[in-house]
Amino acid sequence: MTKGLFNQEATQAGNSKWQAGIERFESLYTKEDEIRSEFNRDYNRILHCKAYRRLKHKTQVFYATTNDHICTRIEHVNHVASVSYSIANYLGLNTELTGAIALGHDLGHAPFGHVGETILKKLLNSEGISSFWHERNSLYFVDHLETLPNLEGRETNLCLTYAVRDGIISHCGEVNENAIFPRKEAIDLALIERPNQYAPFTWEGCIVKIADKISYLGRDIEDALSLGILSKAQLDELASMVEIIKKVEVHQISNTLLMNDFILNLCEMSSPEAGIRFSQQYLELINKVKDFNYKHIYHHPRLTHYQSYAQLVMESLFNQLIQWYDTDEGISEHLKENATFFPSLSGSFEYWLMKYSNINEKEREKTKFGNHIVYNIKQRIDYIKAVAHYLSSMTDQFAIKLFSELIHF
């Protein structure tokens, strides 16, 4: 392996993509003693936003486990950051950029993992909205919903750089192609219509895209082994797959082992000419592992009850909130009328609308909300989008708490 093959390709000053990569919607405040780079500032802004904090209570695969060591969404994004750093550092790419992308790539993930995402997508489809997918939702969160106080204490939008925003929405897609190359153009990211429509803009974005798969496949197997949900026949199947690259016993298979081998192979095989890639043997293995996980873990019978419960929670909250739509005055009245019965639901959703919509602009002026208004509450479709984003922002526990308000007297 040759270290630093991508030194000339890194997204840094002097690179042809540098200026486009560090562009922001608007200027951020700066301090006289600022020592951070543009991408390091993005990393810090993501780290301190509330959507990042909520990831610690969002399901990765296994919900409501009594085992404290089972992966949650916040651990997953840090695994992706770690794997991305190892690869980018060895290849000579910008590790600050991969770190920021990795930390923010799942900020728009719904509660209850991919089950919650699927439920929300179906609910929105029933309302004629067909564009919900978590990568796009993550971009929407960092562009329009997440805020931090500025030097005057007013809440303002994160306003991240283009390269980080691009890496967030472009992390989708499976790694089943021979190699990944970045695209050349800095397109309008809001116009991306479907997952995997475009390759990432930077080599660093390509790294995070693959690191995401390296990170979750091995860790999900490790969690399944810890919970003892795999049969002997399934364990034998897993061992026979891994034997292709390394002779190990089933009990030796871990996230560390799988990640290490995939990282080393990726670093060995990748180059600016060949792209970011695995060897054919490792490409086939990662896809076999993915198929194994879907068949024996993600579709495990013990997850069916959890999925039904998640659907009940999400549908109940969605339908209740949709019932409150009338006019801008009517919504406010519904929220007041239901405050006694559903104090947390009505109160938190009223706060959401006050912060992000034009429901009461005069009252909003008295707050510290300096972020952009994104919902025109007089339009029903905007109200539905507000409901969807509000639900997708929740932790599992908060969604369950609000559901409990609906069913208790």
The token duo for 369 is 């909300």
| pLDDT confidence of residue 65 | 66
Q: Confidence class of residue 409 from pLDDT cuts 50, 70 and 90?
A: confident
Helix or strand run (H / E) with residue 301? none
The token duo for 44 is 């810090």
Residue among 209, 225, 298, 259 at smallest CA distance from 67: 225
| pLDDT confidence of residue 109 | 94
Burial of 68 (0-12, 13-18, 19+ CB in 10 A): exposed
Altogether, the residues listed in the chain come to a count of 409
| pLDDT confidence of residue 100 | 98
CA distance 59 to 116: 9
CA distances from 359 to 149, 271, 320, 324, 385 (A): 22, 53, 19, 13, 14
Residue 47 pLDDT greater than 80, yes or no: yes
The token duo for 122 is 């179906």
Q: Higher confidence at residue 31 or residue 1?
A: 31
The answer to whether the CB of 405 falls within 8 A of the CB of 348 is no
CA distance 73 to 107: 9
| pLDDT confidence of residue 27 | 87
Residue among 145, 195, 143, 141 at smallest CA distance from 171: 195
Contacts of 120 (CB under 8 A, 6+ apart): 110, 132, 314, 318, 388, 391, 392
Residue 176 pLDDT greater than 80, yes or no: no
Is the sign of the CA dihedral 333, 339, 345, 350 positive or negative?
A: positive
The token duo for 135 is 């990568």
User: How many other CB atoms are there within 10 angstroms of residue 141's CB atom?
Assistant: 23
How much is the average pLDDT of 387-397?
97
How much is the average pLDDT of 182-199?
94
Q: Confidence class of residue 120 from pLDDT cuts 50, 70 and 90?
A: very high
Mean pLDDT for all residues in the chain: 92
Q: Where are the beta strands (DSSP E) in 61-188?
A: 147-149, 155-157
DSSP code of residue 16: T
Q: Dump the DSSP string for 159-191.
A: ---HHHHHHHHTT-S-S-SS-B---S----GGG
Residue 332 pLDDT greater than 90, yes or no: no
| pLDDT confidence of residue 95 | 98
Tens digits of per-residue pLDDT, 97-107? 999 999 999 99
Contacts of 145 (CB under 8 A, 6+ apart): 51, 356, 374, 389, 393
Q: What angle do CA 105, 101, 140 make, to 5 degrees?
A: 50
Helices and strands, number each (H, E), in the chain: 18, 2
Residue 211 pLDDT greater than 70, yes or no: yes
Residue 192 pLDDT greater than 90, yes or no: yes
How much is the average pLDDT of 188-198?
92
CA distance 207 to 214: 10
In the chain, the N- to C-terminal Cα span, in Å, equals 65
Bridge partners, 271 (sequence order): 275
The answer to whether the CB of 169 falls within 8 A of the CB of 135 is yes
| pLDDT confidence of residue 364 | 94
Bridge partners, 180 (sequence order): 276
3-class secondary-structure state, position 4: coil
Q: Confidence class of residue 131 from pLDDT cuts 50, 70 and 90?
A: confident
CA distance 369 to 62: 36
Bridge partners, 72 (sequence order): 59
Global pTM? Answer: 0.95
Burial of 155 (0-12, 13-18, 19+ CB in 10 A): middle
Which amino acid, one-letter code, is at 321?
L
Helix or strand run (H / E) with residue 270? none
Q: Confidence class of residue 243 from pLDDT cuts 50, 70 and 90?
A: confident
| pLDDT confidence of residue 273 | 97
| pLDDT confidence of residue 174 | 60
